[in-house]
A = this chain, B = another copy of it.
């Protein structure tokens, strides 16, 4: 695992900011009625996607979730194409035919947001099997939520990854709720990380608001995977800033003082403070990165607004390959 450099720290900080700015914009535009459909925002969880994907190359793969914007940006998807996709415009990454829940970019190794909770598990196994089959040293990260962890596919896929020693890292984003239901109700295990034992696989729980904690844990897991030492499960405790989807009134907030305090933490500000203190980048660099991120997102909104809707013919295309 490589230590952060000025370069990589700035890149990570830029991605975190891009995600946050992206989501804040999507939120506003959705509230204004411009964007159709369901939108699940990643704001507040940036540290996880960015820290995890910091260990990946373009040719590594990730599988994502319904809450996929952050994973896309972290894996290097183009924000113009993403925003246009969310608008349902023809310039979108999926020609506007997928939308927020199905953004994908195979060229960037992003195997798709997924509208089916737990849908990413088997796909990650397949992608990891491919790496092993072709004897590459590429790896796969499978992002999934606390709610998704109760789907049967979790069990099947972790077991399969373990028996075949597949190069996959399961990154659990435990944001305290699956829709409006907390894992303390929905899951019998004390931590999700502890479930790794059932698959004889390393499991670790980290503070998901702490970029470096995620960075280190996933980094070790990715190293193991690349070395052919098999899968790992990393649980990242986090909290989403907004509701389950846009429109959710969030009547189910945390109760305990510790939870409330946790929910207030800002992963981006914490990383900024850490990086400055560690001299990874300067205040001026940070500001520049923030500005760049904001500018890119604003440009993406403009790009999406200016883009045309798909042609009618597009309805019938892309069902079958030749």
Q: Are B194 and A189 in contact (CB under 8 A)?
A: no
Q: How many angstroms between the C-alpha atoms of A172 and B139 in the bound complex?
A: 35
A261 at the interface (CB under 8 A from B): no
Interface residues in A193-240 (C-beta closer than 8 Å to B): 194-195, 197-201
Which of these, B152, B190, B197, B201, contacts A155 with CB under 8 Å? B152
A201 to B195, CA, bound (A): 13
* Identical chains in the assembly: 2
Give chain B residues whose Cβ lies under 8 Å from the Cβ of A194. 197-198
Q: Let me know if A189 and B185 touch, CB within 8 A.
A: no
CB of B198 within 8 A of CB of A185, answer no
State how many angstroms separate the Cβ of A277 from the closest Cβ of chain B. Answer: 39
A211 → chain B closest CB, angstroms? 29
Given the complex, which residues of B lie within 8 Å of A189, measured CB to CB? 159, 198-200
* Interface status of A154 (Cβ within 8 A of chain B): yes
Q: Chain A contact residues (Cβ within 8 angstroms of B): what range?
A: 20 to 34
How far does the Cβ of A290 sit from chain B's closest Cβ, in whole Å? 42
Across-interface contacts of A248 in B (CB, < 8 A): none
Q: Which residues of B contact A195 (CB under 8 A)?
A: 198
A151 at the interface (CB under 8 A from B): yes
Most chain B C-beta atoms within 10 Å of own C-beta, residue among A155, A186, A195: A155
Instruction: State the A residues within 8 Å of B (CB).
Output: 150-156, 158-159, 162-163, 185-190, 194-195, 197-201
**9 pairs of residues in contact across A and B, judged by CB atoms under 8 Å:** A150-B156, A151-B156, A152-B153, A152-B156, A163-B187, A163-B188, A188-B200, A189-B200, A197-B197
Q: Which 8 A-B pairs have the closest CB atoms?
A: A152-B152, A155-B155, A162-B188, A188-B199, A195-B198, A198-B198, A152-B156, A188-B200
